[in-house]
């Protein structure tokens, strides 16, 4: 099983390397409504997911599924336009397959964005949050099963899942550009339904500032294989149990779109200064 998974990773890697000479050092995974950072990339090659052996194919309409290779902020990058969610029915191994392929392509750093619901009462719709830590409530873990020793240890340390250096860098970039950012803890749930009031109250009480349906599987696999990770959430809705309003997914996507220019600027400047 793990031998087969390893050979699938290598087949995907070989296919990508047969299509491009770009040797990326930074990987980027873009969240719902947040794909426009790729417009800043000097694209050298894009590859639809469906062409890459063993790559999952995204089923969420708001995502275009392709891998983009090129230059951004003076660095060679590989960006995933479209990501995979647990609620789509993919296994944790499928969701995180591209992270391992990107590791083998040569990246040392992974940047991740997502849309999330804000539970910290100080947070407003449209705020940006730098992720400092996370809680995994997905009920599954991508590292379950035989350990892939060539990627990392059986029991990976999670004392710094998001790089403190990159967090400081992003804070500096944000303040230099007069962009307000929040900092906090992301909790991942499976979805696809949004949370009940009781669940938001619970998630807030266990120490989370925002809630979303992505990012944590990719982070775990990235940390396992020694990548530095930086993550940011766009707060797309306010999840305060006592005043909770019905949420509209179109509104979530619109809020992500409206906030995207600030996120893009921070990500681009972080890449430039890595």
Binding segment toward ligand HPA, per CB under 6 A, in 12-20, 76-84, 90-98, 211-219: 211-219
The interface mask with ligand HPA, positions 180-199, x = CB under 6 A, is: -----------x--xx----
Can residue 209 be called a binding residue for ligand HPA (CB under 6 A)?
no
Cβ closer to ligand HPA: 137 or 265?
Answer: 137
Q: Does 127 bind ligand HPA (CB under 6 A)?
A: no
Closest CA to 259 of 119, 129, 80, 128: 128
Q: Is 239 in the site for ligand HPA (CB under 6 A)?
A: yes
Beta bridge partners of 64: none
In angstroms, give the least distance from the CB of 97 to ligand HPA: 22
Distance CA 128, CA 266 (A): 10
Residue in 33, 117, 152, 217 binding ligand HPA, rule: CB under 6 A: 117
**Of residues 183, 67, 64, the one with CA closest to residue 130:** 183
Asked if 44 contacts 100 with a C-beta cutoff of 8 angstroms, the reply is no
Buried b (16+ CB within 10 A) or exposed e, 213-243: bbbbbbbbbbbbbebbbbbbbbbbbbbbbee
Report d(CA 32, CA 35) in Å as an integer: 7
Among 68, 211, 270, 271, binds ligand HPA (CB under 6 A): 211
Half-sphere exposure (CA, 13 Å, Cβ side) for 245? 10
With CB under 6 A as the contact rule, which of the stretches 85-93, 137-145, 207-215, 221-229 interacts with ligand HPA? 207-215
Q: Nearest approach, Cβ of 227 to ligand HPA (angstroms)?
A: 24
Q: Which residues bind ligand HPA (CB under 6 A)?
A: 115-117, 191, 194-195, 211-213, 236-237, 239, 252
């Amino acid at each position: 099983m793990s031998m087969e998974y390893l050979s699938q990773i290598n087949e995907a890697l070989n296919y990508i390397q047969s299509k491009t000479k770009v040797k990326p050092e930074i990987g980027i995974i873009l969240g719902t409504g947040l794909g426009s950072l790729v417009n800043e990339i000097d694209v050298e090659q894009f590859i639809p997911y469906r062409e890459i052996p063993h790559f999952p194919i995204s089923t969420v309409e708001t995502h275009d599924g392709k891998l983009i290779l090129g230059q951004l902020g003076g660095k060679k990058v590989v960006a995933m336009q479209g990501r995979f969610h647990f609620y789509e029915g993919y296994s944790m191994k499928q969701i995180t397959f591209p992270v391992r392929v990107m590791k083998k392509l040569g990246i040392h750093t992974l940047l991740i964005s997502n849309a999330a619901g804000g539970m910290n009462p100080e947070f407003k719709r449209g705020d940006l949050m730098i992720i400092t830590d996370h809680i995994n409530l997905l009920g599954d873990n991508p590292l379950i099963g035989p350990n892939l020793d060539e990627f990392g240890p059986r029991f990976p340390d999670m004392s710094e899942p998001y790089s403190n250096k990159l967090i400081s860098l992003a804070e500096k970039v944000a303040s230099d550009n007069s962009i307000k950012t929040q900092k906090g803890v992301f909790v991942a749930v499976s979805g696809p339904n949004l949370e009940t009031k009781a669940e938001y109250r619970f998630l807030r009480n266990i120490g989370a500032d925002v809630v979303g349906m992505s990012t944590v599987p990719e982070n775990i696999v990235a940390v396992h294989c020694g990548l530095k990770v930086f993550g940011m959430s766009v707060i797309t809705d306010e999840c305060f149990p006592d005043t909770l309003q019905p949420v509209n997914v179109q509104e979530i996507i619109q809020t992500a779109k409206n906030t995207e220019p600030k996120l893009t600027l921070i990500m681009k400047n972080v890449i430039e200064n890595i």
